[in-house]
Structure formats: C-alpha cells, structure tokens
C-alpha cells in the first residue's frame, strides 16, 4: 500500500511512523485510519522491537475528522467509532511497545490515539483534551475507557465533561504524559527510550506488554496467575538462557528474539 497520510521509517529494529495530513492538523479521516491500520497490521514485521508514533510540530492529531463526521448518520457514526476502536486495539495489542511522541495538539481522537500507545512523551508545546462535548458528541475511539484507566475516574470525568484542554505539564502531573521535553528534545529523547527498549530481550518485553494489557482487565487473582504463565513462557526462550548466562559471565547480553 502506498501511504499518502503517513510515513514509516525503519531504523534497525525501531519503526518511526509520522502522521502527515497537515492541512487538517492530522485529523483522523477514513483514509488516514486505513493507512494506520495497514502499517501496524501488514507493514511492520515481528523484527520490530519498538514503534515511535508522532505527528507534526503543530499537531500530533487534532481529533477525528469533524468535516467527514458532518454527514454521518447515527448508524454510520457507530461503524466509524467501531472501526477506529478496532484500529486502536491493533495498536494497543501490537507485539512491541508503541511510544507516542506528542508534539502539538492531541485532542479528541488524537488524545485517544495517544492513550492506545504504551507510553506518551510530550513536547512542552503539547496540548491534550477530549473536547467532544463542544460538538455535541462523546469520545468514540475509546476515550471514556482508556482515559479513565490512565488518569483515574475523577480527572477523566473532569476532562471529558468540561472539554478543557490541558498543557503538557498538567498532562504529566496527572499521569497522562510520562515525561515532558523541550520541543527540540522530544524526538531525541523518544529515540533514546525506544533504543533502550529495543536493546532488551524482545520476547520478554512483548510478554510484559501482554501481561499488563490483559491483566488490567482481569481480577487480581487471575491476573497474577496469568503473569506466572507468561513468566514460564519467558523461560522457554533462548534469550532467557542468554540473559542469565551473560549476567553470570559478567558480559552484555545479545538478545536475538528467540
Ligand atoms: N477535523 C477536521 N479538520 C480539522 C480538525 C478536525 N478535528 N481540526 C483542525 N482541522 C482543520 C481546520 O478545519 C482547518 O482547516 P481549514 O484551513 O480548511 O479551515 C485546519 O485544520 C487548521 O485548523 P485551525 O485553523 O482551526 O487551527 P487553529 O490553530 O486555529 O486551531 C485547534 C487548532 C484548536 C486544534 C482547532 O483546529 C480545533 O479545535 N480543532 C478541533 C479539535 C476537536 O474538536 N477535536 C475532536 C474531534 S471529535 C473526535 O475526535 C471524536 C472521537 O472521539 C472519535
């Protein structure tokens, strides 16, 4: 597939996806959603150990495309919400961690997209919010659920009911952003984190992601038992042998992802 609204650059085993629909501040229309789905489900291979998802200096993503939504019937809007939700689940369940490097606006569907990523790093210029109530609609790409799970029900309610936009510092304070960096430092710092993750045992990182994602939706007894199952799975890998041997031999481990 030829991408018109994003680029995907591979640097060793790190993928950098840059959303590029500048005339609409990267608003998510059908075309960009289709490309986003394709890049995660078809384009990126199992060799990828970390993904960086970013936008432009002005906007990570300014939301779902309001102009495209204008003519939707309720049934079409449900299909639109479900298709966006399924794509965001594909990102959430991607085998490797996804870091959102949020440069500018992450509003509505943009905040929801960042929430579907594992980690959010923000530029000092980033702005977050769920402004859907200003349009007479509600968040439809998972915001009512993922924002609540990320920042807790109190803050999620406040942000969703008021539609207020918050700056990067506030997003950091409430746990929506993991860190805030100067604009020019955002990509270097994001790449530093991506490289750190990519140097670890990739199957172990992937199992950690699975344990966190799936365990969050289980009761604690089942979740810790599930963790023990995945712990045992990590013991079946060559990387476990390599990692433990390297520690004993006082050398750096070389993980191959097997
Ligand atoms: N959809 C479609 N087009 C959008 C857009 C969106 N979400 N956000 C911005 N654009 C377009 C603008 O219409 C404008 O296009 P034209 O030049 O053709 O007029 C262009 O991008 C530049 O935007 P502005 O001129 O508005 O830029 P600004 O700097 O003055 O303001 C902004 C920036 C505050 C982000 C403002 O654009 C804005 O409020 N955007 C909408 C944010 C929003 O409400 N997002 C939620 C959408 S609903 C949703 O996401 C539902 C869901 O959960 C699935």
- pLDDT confidence band for 74 (50 / 70 / 90): very high
- Rounded to an integer, the average pLDDT of 223-231 is 98
In sequence order, the 6+-apart residues with CB closer than 8 A to the CB of 140 are 64, 77, 80, 81, 84, 85, 109, 132
Q: What's the pLDDT tens digit per position in 83-100?
A: 999 999 999 999 999 999
* Tokens 């009911």 found at: 161
Q: Which has the closest alpha carbon to 33: 88, 73, 95, 78? A: 88
Q: What is the Cα–Cα distance from 21 to 23, expressed in whole angstroms?
A: 6
| Predicted pLDDT of residue 172 | 98
Q: Which CATH superfamily is domain 202-248 in?
A: Lyase 2-enoyl-coa Hydratase, Chain  A, domain 2 (1.10.12.10)
| Predicted pLDDT of residue 77 | 97
| Predicted pLDDT of residue 211 | 98
Q: What's the pLDDT tens digit per position in 107-127?
A: 999 999 999 999 999 999 999
Across the chain, mean pLDDT equals 97
What are the angstrom distances between the C-alpha of 143 and each of 189, 195, 236? 26, 29, 37
- pLDDT confidence band for 166 (50 / 70 / 90): very high
CA of 67 to the centre of ligand 1 (A): 9
Instruction: For residue 176, give the H/E element and its range.
Output: none
To test the pocket of ligand 1, the residue of 5, 26, 66 to mutate (highest count of ligand atoms within 8 Å of its CB) is: 66
Report the catalytic residues. Answer: 112, 132
Residue 254 has a CB neighbour count (10 Å cut-off) of 10
Residue percentage of the chain with pLDDT more than 70: 100
CA of 26 to the centre of ligand 1 (A): 9
- Which ligand 1 atom is the nearest neighbour of the CA of 134? 44
Whole-model pTM: value is 0.97
Question: Whose Cα sits closest to atom 15 in ligand 1?
Answer: 24
* Structure token digits, residue 213: 């994602």
What are the angstrom distances between the C-alpha of 49 and each of 67, 89, 92, 201, 231? 36, 18, 14, 9, 19
Buried b (16+ CB within 10 A) or exposed e, 142-177: bbbebbbeebeeebbeebbeeeebbbbebbbebebb
- Which ligand 1 atom is the nearest neighbour of the CA of 59? 35
| Predicted pLDDT of residue 152 | 98
Q: Considering the chain, tell me which residue range(s) the CATH 3.90.226.10 domain(s) occupy.
A: 6-198
Strands 50-54 and 6-11 turn out to be: unpaired
| Predicted pLDDT of residue 163 | 98
- Rounded to an integer, the average pLDDT of 221-247 is 96
CA of 86 to the centre of ligand 1 (A): 23
- Which ligand 1 atom is the nearest neighbour of the CA of 67? 2
To test the pocket of ligand 1, the residue of 19, 24, 33 to mutate (highest count of ligand atoms within 8 Å of its CB) is: 24
Report the topology of domain 6-198: 2-enoyl-CoA Hydratase; Chain A, domain 1 (3.90.226)
Instruction: Output the ligand 1 site: residues, CB below 6 A.
Output: 24-25, 27, 62-67, 84, 105, 107-109, 112, 131-132, 135, 139-141, 143
Q: Which has the closest alpha carbon to 258: 232, 237, 241, 242? A: 237
Residue 128 phi, psi dihedral angles, 5° rounding: -120, 150
To test the pocket of ligand 1, the residue of 57, 63, 131 to mutate (highest count of ligand atoms within 8 Å of its CB) is: 63
Residue percentage of the chain with pLDDT more than 90: 100
Question: Whose Cα sits closest to atom 42 in ligand 1?
Answer: 62
CA of 134 to the centre of ligand 1 (A): 12
Q: Considering the chain, tell me which residue range(s) the CATH 1.10.12.10 domain(s) occupy.
A: 202-248
- Rounded to an integer, the average pLDDT of 243-254 is 94
């Amino acid at each position: 597939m030829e991408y018109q609204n994003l680029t995907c650059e591979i640097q060793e085993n790190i993928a950098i996806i840059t959303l590029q629909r500048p005339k609409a501040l990267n608003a998510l229309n059908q075309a960009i959603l289709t490309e986003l789905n394709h890049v995660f489900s078809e384009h990126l291979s199992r060799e990828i150990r970390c993904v960086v998802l970013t936008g432009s200096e002005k906007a990570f993503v300014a939301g779902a495309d309001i102009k495209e939504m204008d003519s939707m019937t309720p049934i079409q809007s449900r299909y639109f919400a479900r298709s966006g939700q399924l794509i965001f689940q594909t990102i959430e369940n991607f085998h490797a961690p996804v870091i959102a490097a949020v440069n500018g606006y992450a509003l509505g569907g943009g905040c929801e997209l960042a929430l579907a990523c594992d980690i959010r790093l923000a530029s000092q210029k980033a702005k977050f919010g769920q402004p859907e109530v200003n349009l007479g609609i509600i968040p439809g790409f998972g915001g009512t659920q993922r924002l609540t799970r990320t920042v807790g029900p109190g803050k999620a309610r406040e942000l969703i009911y008021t539609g207020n936009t918050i700056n990067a510092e506030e997003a950091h304070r409430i746990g929506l952003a993991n860190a805030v960096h100067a604009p020019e430092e955002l990509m270097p710092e994001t790449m530093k984190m991506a490289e750190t993750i990519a140097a670890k045992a990739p199957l172990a990182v992937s199992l950690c992601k699975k344990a966190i994602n799936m365990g969050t939706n289980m009761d604690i007894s089942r979740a810790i038992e599930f963790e023990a199952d995945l712990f045992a799975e990590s013991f079946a890998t060559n990387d476990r042998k390599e990692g433990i041997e390297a520690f004993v031999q006082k050398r750096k481990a070389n993980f191959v992802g097997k």
